[in-house]
Every structure is written in structure tokens, then in C-alpha cells.
């Protein structure tokens, strides 16, 4: 994610892709004064993501300095990262993810039924945001009565995410973080007495040769799910709706061939990558594509640019719903590759299937809606709906 990765990032239109194209062609590794190096080509982005010994994820000064903040897996290097990832992965298996299909289906149906009846409205507040927040709340065992508070903490924290990770968080974000920590510490204590049936409870009881997760590490994981899993999934749903707006025939095609949905989701991840860039720090003096980089320099691997690299993807600037192969980097690569990728894919597929069932079409009120730089989703996307006849 970029240093400006908060909802106040300047919104960028489709021209962001023209800029990426120019970077790939003429300045594959470049930077503006005082900014991180931008890496634009697929092979270089791939290399930066994979070579974790050269490109450190310890980019959050605040995380390193602030003794009260727990280490977030996303911003750690081995061996700390290996331990956290191994522990968390054992509670994040395909079986555990598959087991969530029914509750995601039910949540989606309830939201879409209500939304479809409204004929127009806000895609974000009515569907694309509550779906992933609800899924994560269920994973963390947030009880129904606490959901509104949980959503409020989540919104407040995400609004300030760039500052939380890399700068000075706002008083509102600090307060929301404090309330959320207190809430989850209480839940964790209660789970330690009586196990429950959800991911947080599984994590509390994960017992491997690596040992058990501490309260601080469990809390870190609750925050990480909010940061990594919410707005990215919202943004994936927005990407799908962008395509239905731009190419209404796709909606009809998927309606008659729902087996195309998984490929459509993959192409949306490539074409409208929700996590446009991430951040690394050079661990030593090195070169990327011949460009000397000094130890300590920050580097932005532009995932969204890599995913449109014409040397890798045939007709890269075209949305091809059944594209194969589709080796996009939307979920990253290497040791930090997205832990929630199967969950996000499942949510995307279920969300699209639900739209196809309840609607005959969906369009954006503002077809020139900007894309956000960094990662995250817009706060509001007004749409017109054509409920299924």
C-alpha cells in the first residue's frame, strides 16, 4: 500500500492506467523527489515481492518504535513473520474457509434482496461494505448486538489507515482502536474459558510446536483482518460492478453461463486490482532493472501496473472475462501473499451470483467514477438497479 494509503488519497481516474503504461515503457523504476521508488513492470514487481531478503516488509516505522503496538504480520520479516504466518495459517485452512460458504451466501442473499427492492442506492453502504465486514465479524465472533459498534470501529480505523501504519493516527482512530482492543481482549479472555466455533476461537487454541498466540498477537490479527480483508473485498465487488456498467452484455453472459463467474472474478482482480501497490524497503544497496537503489530506500511495487503489463498479458488493456492463463499479482506473491485469497474469491463469486439472481442489470450513476490510488474502496458508489423481472 502506498504511504498515502488512506481514504484521503487523491482519487485517480482511468488515467492512472495511462500513467502506469508510460512508466512501464519509459521509467520502469523511478521516483519523484522524496517519494518511494515506483516499480512498474511485471517481472520487476514479481521479483521485489518474491525476494524478501532483499526487500524488507519492515516499512512501518511506527510499528517498530511503538512498544505499545503489536507487530503486524504484514510488516514483519522472517523469523517473526514465519512464526506468525504458521500459527495463523493453521486456523485459516481451505476447510475452515469452505465452511463459511453458507453464512456468506445467507448474508449476501439478505443484503441483495433488500438492495434489489430499492431500485437505486449506494452499492457501498447497502452491499459491498457490509458483506466483508459481516464476514470478518463472524470470523472474529462479534455478536449481533455488537455489530454496529464493530462497523464503526472498522470505518474509523480504515479512514485513517495510512497514518495508523506510517504516521500519527487521529484521536478518533486512537479512540476506536482502544475501544476495539478492549472489546477483543475481553472476548479473548472469555474464549480462553469457553471455546467457541469461529476463527478467533480456533486461533486462541492453535497449538503447534511454534507455541500459542499471545493476547497481543491475537489482537494484531483482529486488526489485520480489518485492514487487509475489508476494503479490498469491497473494492473487488466495485470492480465487478464497474465491468457490468461498462459492458452490460457481460451481465447477461454470466447469467446464462454462471460457470464463467470464477474466471470473471480473476479478470476483475487483474483489471481493477483492489490492492494497487504495496510497500517494501531495500535491505542493502542493490539494483532493480539496472537502477541502483540504496539500502533503506522505500519501494512501491505497483501491482496494478504489473497486472496490465502488455509483455505478459495478451491484449492487457482489454477485459477478457475468460482469460486463461491469468497469472495476475492481485494477491501478491511470496511469503506475504494474501492469506485471505480463497475467502476473497469465494465472497466475490457469491456476491456476483447473488447480483445475477436478483437483478437484470446494474449501472453506475457516475460512469467516470474515479479509482482510488493505494488500496481501499470509495466511501460511496451510487448505482441504478434493474430488479430481476
Q: Is 275 in the site for ligand HEM (CB under 6 A)?
A: yes
Q: Which residue's CB is nearer to ligand HEM, number 265 or number 293?
A: 265
Q: Is 349 in the site for ligand HEM (CB under 6 A)?
A: no
Q: Is 340 in the site for ligand HEM (CB under 6 A)?
A: yes
Burial pattern 71-101, b for ≥16 Cβ within 10 A else e, equals bbbbbbbeeebebbbebbeebbeeebbeebe
Q: Is 343 in the site for ligand HEM (CB under 6 A)?
A: yes
DSSP of 71-133, one letter per residue? Answer: PPGGG--TTHHHHHHHHHHTTS-HHHHHTTHHHHHHHHHHHHHHHHHHSEEEHIIIIITHHHH
Of positions 24, 41, 85, 308, contacts ligand HEM by CB under 6 A: 85
Greatest Cα pair distance, the chain, in angstroms, is 62
**Please, is 251 exposed, middle or buried when counting C-beta atoms within 10 Å of its C-beta (0-12, 13-18, 19+)?**
buried
Question: Cα separation of 203 and 30, whole Å?
Answer: 42
| CA atoms 364, 238, 158, 189: torsion sign | positive
Output the smallest distance, CB 117 to ligand HEM, in A: 27
Of the listed pieces 114-122, 159-167, 319-327, 330-338, which binds ligand HEM according to CB under 6 A? 330-338
Q: Is 336 in the site for ligand HEM (CB under 6 A)?
A: yes
Q: Which residue's CB is nearer to ligand HEM, number 116 or number 374?
A: 374
Q: Is 224 in the site for ligand HEM (CB under 6 A)?
A: yes
Q: Is 346 in the site for ligand HEM (CB under 6 A)?
A: no
Count of residues that interact with ligand HEM, criterion CB under 6 A? 24
Output the smallest distance, CB 232 to ligand HEM, in A: 3
CB 90 within 8 A of CB 208: yes
| Residues near ligand HEM, by CB under 6 A | 49, 73-74, 85, 136, 224-225, 228-229, 232-233, 236, 274-275, 278, 330-332, 336, 338-340, 343-344
Amino acid at each position: 500500500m502506498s504511504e498515502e494509503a488512506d481514504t484521503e488519497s487523491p482519487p485517480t481516474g482511468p488515467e492512472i492506467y495511462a500513467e502506469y503504461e508510460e512508466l512501464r515503457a519509459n521509467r520502469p523504476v523511478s521516483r519523484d523527489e522524496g517519494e518511494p521508488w515506483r516499480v512498474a513492470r511485471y517481472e520487476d514487481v514479481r521479483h521485489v515481492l518474491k525476494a524478501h531478503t532483499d526487500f524488507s516488509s519492515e516499512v512501518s516505522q511506527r510499528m517498530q518504535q511503538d512498544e505499545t503496538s503489536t507487530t503486524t504480520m504484514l510488516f514483519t520479516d522472517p523469523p517473526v513473520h514465519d512464526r506468525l504466518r504458521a500459527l495463523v495459517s493453521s486456523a485459516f485452512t481451505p476447510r475452515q474457509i469452505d465452511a463459511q460458504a453458507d453464512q456468506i451466501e445467507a448474508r449476501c442473499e439478505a443484503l441483495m434482496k433488500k438492495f434489489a427492492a430499492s431500485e437505486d442506492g449506494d452499492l457501498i453502504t447497502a452491499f459491498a461494505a457490509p458483506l466483508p465486514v459481516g464476514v470478518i465479524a463472524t470470523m472474529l465472533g462479534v455478536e449481533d448486538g455488537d455489530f454496529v459498534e464493530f462497523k464503526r470501529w472498522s470505518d474509523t480505523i480504515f479512514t485513517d489507515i495510512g497514518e495508523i501504519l506510517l504516521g500519527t493516527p487521529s484521536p478518533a482512530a486512537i479512540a476506536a482502536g482502544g475501544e476495539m482492543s478492549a472489546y477483543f481482549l475481553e472476548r479473548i479472555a472469555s474464549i480462553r474459558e469457553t471455546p467457541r466455533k469461529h476463527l478467533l476461537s480456533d486461533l486462541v487454541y492453535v497449538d503447534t510446536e511454534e507455541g500459542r498466540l499471545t493476547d497481543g498477537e491475537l489482537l494484531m490479527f483482529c486488526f489485520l483482518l480489518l485492514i487487509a480483508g475489508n476494503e479490498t473485498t469491497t473494492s473487488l465487488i466495485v470492480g465487478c460492478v464497474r465491468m457490468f456498467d461498462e459492458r452490460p452484455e457481460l451481465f447477461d453472459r454470466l447469467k446464462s453461463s454462471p460457470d464463467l463467474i470464477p474466471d470473471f472474478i480473476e479478470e476483475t482482480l487483474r483489471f481493477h486490482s483492489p490492492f494497487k501497490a504495496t510497500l517494501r524497503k531495500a535491505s542493502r544497496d542493490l539494483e532493480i532493472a539496472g537502477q541502483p537503489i540504496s539500502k533503506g530506500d522505500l519501494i512501491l511495487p505497483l501491482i496494478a501496473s504489473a497486472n496490465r503489463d502488455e509483455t505478459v498479458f495478451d491484449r492487457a488493456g482489454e477485459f477478457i472475462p475468460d482469460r486463461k492463463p491469468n497469472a495476475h499479482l492481485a494477491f501478491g506473491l511470496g511469503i506475504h501473499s494474501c492469506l485471505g485469497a480463497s475467502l476473497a474469491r469465494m465472497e466475490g463469486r457469491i456476491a456476483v451470483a447473488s447480483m445475477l439472481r436478483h437483478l437484470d442489470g446494474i449501472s453506475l450513476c457516475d460512469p467516470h467514477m474515479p479509482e482510488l490510488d493505494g488500496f481501499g474502496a470509495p466511501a460511496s458508489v451510487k448505482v441504478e438497479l434493474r430488479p430481476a423481472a
